[in-house]
Structure 1
Amino acid sequence: MPVLGTDDQQVGLVDHLDGDAIKLTKNDSGDGQHHWIPLSWVSQIDEHVHIDRSAADAMSGWMDSSPSGN
């Protein structure tokens, strides 16, 4: 499922839920690595996951390792 910023730009694709975060697939990231965003950023879910910030802001603030330590 695509994750979209407030600018309707895609941040990534959901891999799965990891505790209180969404793990994004590594295949669609520019660096080939997994990234995580907090569930608290989610503002709406329909055919996409919408977050409360732009894609650029999300990418500058995402986590590079699992917040749950997995």
Structure 2
Amino acid sequence: MTDISSIQEHAEVIGADGVHVGTVDHVEGDRIKLTKNDSHDGKHHYVSAGLVAGIEDGRVRLSANADVALTLEDDA
């Protein structure tokens, strides 16, 4: 697992396919809280740190494609 403590606020979160999933609001425990701006319902959503494949050029890359990662999001 990648060290999520190096994830910066406002970093882009992308799926393994390079598609935008969201923007980091901040890290909470073992989850990444995404900003409301990228949400389909105006709420914060969370992505498990276990999905993080790496951090590249300031972007958080997930191990799942964006469409799958979106189904795995956890509501606030």
Q: Which TM-score applies when normalising by structure 1?
A: 0.87
Of the candidates 15, 19, 42, which is equivalent to residue 25 of structure 2?
Answer: 15
Structure number with higher helix proportion = 2
Q: Following the alignment from structure 1 to structure 2, what is the Cα–Cα distance between the partners of residues 32 and 56?
A: 18
- Fraction of identical pairs, as percent: 43
**Within-5 A mapping of 1:53-68:** 53-65=64-76
Structure 1, residues 17-61: CA drift from partner, whole Å, max 9, x if none? 011100000012122110001111101102200000011101111
Matched, 1:48 2:59: yes
List alignment gaps of at least 5 residues for structure 2.
1-10
Q: Please list every run of at least 4 consecutive aligned residues from structure 1 whose deviation after the TM superposition is greater than 4 angstroms.
A: none
Calculate the aligned-residue CA RMSD, in Å: 0.8
Q: Which TM-score applies when normalising by structure 2?
A: 0.81
